[in-house]
Amino acid sequence: MEDYSTAARLRDLLTRKRADNAVGVEEANAAFYAAFQQRNIKAMEGIWGLGDHVQCIHPSSCCISGRESVIESWKVVLANTAFTIQLQDILVHAQDDFAVVTCLEVVDAAESKGRIAATNIFEKQDGRWRIIHHHGSLAPPLR
């Protein structure tokens, strides 16, 4: 016998859970970029995940692995001159404990402007969404 009402309730529950996860990831992504733009290393440390699987690829670097090394790399990045970042084309795909965000970072620094295509991977650790991988690559200029 088919139970359509139970199936509908489960469908609605899963839809709400996915939406809640997406909102949580969007908030974590916003916190990452707020720490980045404010050049706040303490906030940056708080958003990064724990573990040896944590990685970061800055536009001018190779893959940096391990939380401590990643945080050290951000200390160098955040010590540079002031800049602004505007995000465009943000896409979020979230599951129960894993999420991917892609976006375009439009960066305006004192001496240069540029566009960076970014991928941020988040993992839910102890009930919080934390970034475990950031990859930024130079994007072609607008024509």
Q: Identify the pLDDT of residue 80.
A: 82
Q: Identify the pLDDT of residue 8.
A: 57
pLDDT at 38 over 70: yes
pLDDT in tens, 75-127: 999 998 788 999 999 999 999 999 999 999 999 987 788 999 999 999 999 99
Question: Would you give the distance in Å from CA 106 to the centre of its chain?
Answer: 15
Give me the domains of the chain, ranges plus CATH numbers.
4-138 (3.10.450.50)
Question: Would you give the distance in Å from CA 133 to the centre of its chain?
Answer: 8
The pTM assigned to this predicted structure is 0.85
Q: Of 40, 28, 38, which is closest to residue 134 (Cα–Cα)?
A: 28
